[in-house]
Each structure stands twice: as structure tokens, then as C-alpha cells.
Amino acid sequence: MAIDFDKVVTVSAAKQIAESIRAAIMDGRLKVDERLPTEDELAQRFQVSRPTVREALKRLAAQHLIRSRRGPTGGNFVASPAPEEAAQSLANATTLMVAVGDISLDDMATARLELETVCCRLAAQHRTDAQLEAMRREVERQRDPALTDEEFCASDVRFHRALVDAAGNALLGYLMHAVVEALEPVSNMIIFRVRDRLVVADLHERILHAVEARDPAAGTAALSDLVAYTRDRYGEALKRRAERAG
């Protein structure tokens, strides 16, 4: 195990141990599926207690950097990052940052427009029939007046997820997962009383038709109109809220 095992002397020993092992994983000294030493061995090498080592391992597991396996050949192993889990962790952190005000919805809308514009252009080039059909199903679902607001929000997320998937770019997909999964539910929660769902469905249909026709200019124009509509409704919702509070 290629780690320098200096004695830990600061208060946050578990954090230091976790960071040491994490650094070894990130720079390749520890390989995927490599077995870590036992808790006893780590405790002796770092000269700390087993509970401290256990806490460090919990930190690493929470970051999806290690996984545990039971049995005679079990132990803690370096994990191969699951893209879905990593993307969801990013989305959860983004949602929290929006909730506490570290990221404004206007910032999110700007980032979404810029990133999703790239996705829209790529989707017009690379989309498959299955991805078009997925987008089409969501537009049809969004026109159903019996759909609840929660179901409409879920359909909204699925539509944009299908658009991003159609771009065929793994890194954009990872980044946009946070934007779509965090921004769509939050913005829907704020504007659902003042938006017209049919307007949103119409804008989604414009995007769909543009991607289907391999027309990136029309697709990005429709996307820009959608973000502008969402921004306007957000401003209207905040104004109404202030009037009620007054």
C-alpha cells in the first residue's frame, strides 16, 4: 500500500487519514479493486485507535471511494466511481447550495442556458430515435390536464435529461445532471402557481422538433425562450410573495 504512514498528531485524525488514503487513490498509488489493510493494521500504521480508523473509512465510503465486502476474502476495497452516484451527489450538493442561498436561481438559469445550449446543438447532431421518442412521450404527458404538479415536475426533469443524453457527451451529462436535477424541482416549486403548463409543453415541443429536424439554431432559440419564460415567472412569483407578506 503506497502511502506515507506518518503519525497523525492533529485533532482531526480521522479526516487526515481519510485525506491520505483519498490522495493515494486519486494519484493512482492505490488502484481500483485494491484491498486496503485491515482496521488493526491501519490503526498501527497511523498510530491511532480503531474507532478513528473506522471513522476515516466511513468518510471514504460516503465519497464512494471505497466499498466493503464481507466474508473470508472481504475487507475494504478501492471503488470504481459510479457515474450515477457521483452525479447525484453533485446534484444534492447543488440543491443544498441553492436552498441556503449560496447559488441564486438566476445563476443557475444562466449556467443552465449556457450548458444546455451546447447539449441542444450536440443533440441535433447525435440524437437517436429512442431519445426523440422519450422526449415526445414527456411532451404528450405534460399536456394532460389531470397531471399533478409533482408529476409535471418529474416529467420536466425527464424531458431535459433525455435532451442531455441525446448530446452524447459524458462530461456534459455529468455536469447537467446537477443543473437539471437541482434547478427543475426548485424552480417548479416556486413558479408552479404562476406558470402556464401548456406554454412550457409548447416550448418543449419546439425544442423536440428542432432536435428532430437537426436544426441547432431553432433548438437553442426555443431553449432560450424557455429559460426566459422561467425567469419571468420566477420574478412574478417573488413579487406576489412580497405582496402577500406586505
pLDDT by 10-residue block (mean), the chain, 246 residues: 53 86 87 91 92 92 86 86 70 79 82 92 97 98 95 94 95 85 80 92 98 97 95 88 82
pLDDT of residue 9: 44
pLDDT of residue 163: 97
Q: Report the run of H or E that residue 172 belongs to, with start and end.
A: helix 170-191
pLDDT of residue 81: 67
pLDDT of residue 148: 94
DSSP-based three-state secondary structure for 142: helix
Cα–Cα nearest to 163, from 114, 126, 188: 126
Cα–Cα nearest to 53, from 25, 23, 15: 15
Is residue 172 within 8 A of residue 115, CB to CB? The reply is: yes
Cα–Cα nearest to 89, from 177, 168, 25: 177
Distance CA 101, CA 11 (A): 31
